[in-house]
Amino acid sequence: MAGRRLKRSDVDKELLTDIFKMKNDWVSIQSIIERSVDASEMGQYDLQVAQAKYLFMLREARHRNLSALRT
């Protein structure tokens, strides 16, 4: 299966799934940090990484002309 080509629609569906998962991860980390008394540097770093990944995926979806409403 090394030569198998991926269908664009399959990649698009996977991207949308990953976007929703990444948003949930980001919101979850943000919620934990907001409730913590003294957020650690590592927690802040994890929050920034999750946010960056989410925004990157949103840009990719925009570039691919994707919408969660049209699928």
Decide if 24 is inside a domain: yes
- Indicate yes or no: pTM above 0.85: no
- Write down the pLDDT at residue 19: 94
Decide if 69 is inside a domain: no
Decide if 3 is inside a domain: no
pLDDT tens, position by position, 13-38: 999 999 999 999 999 999 999 998 88
- Mean of per-residue pLDDT scores for the chain: 88
Cβ atoms 22, 50 nearer than 8 A: yes
Q: Which domain holds residue 54?
A: 8-63
Task: Give 39's pLDDT tier (boundaries 50, 70, 90).
Answer: confident
Q: How far apart are CA 5 and CA 38, in angstroms?
A: 48
- Write down the pLDDT at residue 71: 45
Phi, psi of 8 (to 5 degrees): -60, -40
Decide if 71 is inside a domain: no
* Rg of the chain, C-alpha, whole Å: 16
Q: How far apart are CA 16 and CA 22, in angstroms?
A: 10
